[in-house]
Amino acid sequence: MSEDKTSASGGGHKKAVVSGLFWRILERTGAQGVTFLVSIVLARLLEPKVYGTVALVTVFITILQVFIDSGLGNALIQKKDADNLDFSSVFFFNITVCVLLYIGMFFAAPLIANFYDDSSLVPVVRVLSLTLIISGVKNVQQAYVSRNMQFKRFFFATLGGTIGAAVVGITLAYLGFGVWAIVSQHLFNAAVDTLILWITVKWRPELKFSFQRLKGLLSFGWKILVSTLIDTVYQDLRQLLIGKVYTPSDLAYYNQGKKIPSMIISNIDTSINSVLFPTFSKVQDDKNRVRSMMRSSIKVSTYLMAPVLIMAAACADPLVRIVLTEKWMPCVFFLRVACITSLIYPIHTANLTAINAMGRSDLFLKLEILKKIVGVAIILGSMWISVEAVALGSLISAIISLFINAWPNRKLLNYSITHQITDILPPLLLAVFMGGCVYAVELFGFNDWITLAIQIPLGIIIYFAGSKIFKLYSYQYIVNSIKNFRKDRKKKNESAAEKAE
């Protein structure tokens, strides 16, 4: 009897994970797809310097955003018995913090403008910083959705905000508003996303607050917050120094090169991570299950990400010329380096998610400090050489961080870095072979449109044919999951039809 219940529970849990993953990837793919198309239009309408100007400001806002998006939100998801008092306490605390952060940015705007020797940044900082308050209103709703694995809610909220922001951004850019087109796009996106989430999610804060509950959540959350803050400052340190030492255009090329890899990571790796964290947290006491799910995560996310990243790197020249025009060609180098760097993200994500889900935020913090000591040393050593050297330094840092992140799970889960690399080798090698074939098409000297028209279908055919011939685990896993998902949907529809009759 108990075995039947366990089996049923496990089956239902797996269905929830697959369903959550489906909606999360659909949400990220839809949103990032729209954002990418909009960025193409804006890149054609606006000069690289405009993008660089906004990037100078978002460095500071992204760092402050950590205080809202990290720590307590993850603590609510991780806590087994979190109730409405916990959620309400975090909500009012977040709102207070967000207002204080905005006031700080409002008065710091002239200092930021002086740092970059550009007085026009003052109003941009003050307006764009409003996203901090908007995010504070949304953060606990996001934690509630993630904890209850209602990822379908994210789909409607994110897509609604993204599409609306696309119309606003393109219209203002076309009318000649320059930097304010991008600022308005960011603000509109955040506002609509938050509004839809509040309409579709039932949770509402109650007028009650508990310092004791907040203190308990902070005991876990502050370590995640500090860890994420260190990582964000570290990631944005490159942008801050490039913007200071070099030009806004150099920063724009660097950031533009990272856009495609970032979109791929956001669509696949981030989607998987957002579903895995609440899933791991629910089974955190069963290390065998955590290890099994972690292995599947690494295999599947690598299988999905590797071919897209390697194909983007192989097709970079014709892709940038066609999509962004000749004026953006300096970003090709950064695009290729970012694609290679992103290949190892699935291992980073799975290791850190497992550590957090098991409540080891203390270990997570120690890892971040160690990685950033190494990373900052590499940044400072490469910054004065060239922007290209900074990009290569990020690749070296990512490789070193790979071993640091994986080290604890050798003991915690009996899953060493050697086993992890072995798990990703089959799809990675197939993707590299595919990338070589795709890149070779350029040697024939066709024009960009013909080259790209051959490269993309050729890469898809080689990768999926190879997956089927060599019977890759991830390929079979995805095919079976899709089949089971469709069967479940069919059964639900039939059951609903019978009830209707």
Q: Which region, left, alpha or beta, applies to residue 243 given φ > 0 means left and ψ of -120 to 50 means alpha?
A: alpha
Element (DSSP H or E) covering residue 150: none
Would you state the pLDDT for residue 7? 40
Query: Which range marks the domain in which residue 419 is found?
Result: 247-495
Please state the domain count of the chain: 1
pLDDT of residue 316: 93
* Contact criterion met (CB below 8 Å) for 390 and 382: yes
pLDDT at residue 464 in the model: 92
Higher-confidence position of 425 and 6 = 425
- 283 in any annotated domain: yes
Question: Ramachandran region of residue 48, left (φ > 0), alpha (ψ -120 to 50) or beta?
Answer: alpha
Quickly list DSSP for 275-310: HHHHHHHHTTT-HHHHHHHHHHHHHHHHHHHHHHHH
**Mean pLDDT, to the nearest integer, of 299-308?**
88
Determine, yes or no, domain membership for 19.
Answer: no
In a domain, 97, yes or no: no
189-205 pLDDT tens trace:
888 888 888 888 788 88
pLDDT at 264: 73
Smallest Cα–Cα separation from 240: which of 222, 225, 254, 260?
Answer: 254
pTM exceeds cut of 0.75: no
Report yes or no on 49 lying in a domain: no
Q: Which residues contact 104 (CB under 8 A, 6 or more apart)?
A: 64
pLDDT tens digit string along 125-158?
Answer: 899 889 888 888 887 777 777 777 666 666 667 7
Split at pLDDT 50, 70, 90, the class of 9 is very low
Residue 260 predicted with pLDDT over 70: yes
CB burial of 279-316 (b: ≥16 within 10 Å; e: otherwise) equals bbbbbbeebebbbebbbbbbbbbbbbbbbbbbbbbbbb
Taking the mean position of all CA atoms in its chain, how far away is CA 493?
33
Q: How far apart are CA 124 and CA 112, in angstroms?
A: 11
| pLDDT value of residue 1 | 39
Question: 1 or 426, which is more confident?
Answer: 426
Residue 343 lies in a domain: yes
pLDDT at residue 449 tops 90: yes
Query: Is 322 inside any structural domain?
Result: yes
Inter-CA distances, 194 with 67, 148, 249, 261, 293, Å: 18, 18, 32, 26, 31
Count of Cβ atoms closer than 10 Å to residue 355 Cβ: 21
pLDDT tens digits, one per residue of 160-191: 777 888 888 888 888 888 888 888 888 888 88
Burial 359-382 (b: 16+ CB within 10 A, else e): ebbebbbebbeebbeebeebbeeb
pLDDT at 314 (0 to 100): 94
Q: Which residue has the higher pLDDT, 10 or 404?
A: 404
Mean pLDDT for 392-413 is 89
Q: What is the pLDDT of residue 5?
A: 41
DSSP, res 266: I
pLDDT band (50, 70, 90) for residue 282: low
Provide the pLDDT for residue 467: 92
Provide, rounded to the nearest whole percent, the portion of the chain with pLDDT above 70: 81
CA–CA separation, 112 vs 159, rounded Å?
A: 32
Burial class (CB in 10 A: 0-12, 13-18, 19+), 217: buried
- Asked if residue 211 belongs to a domain, the reply is no
d(CA 376, CA 229): 14
Q: What is the pLDDT of residue 71?
A: 64
* Residue 153 covered by a domain: no
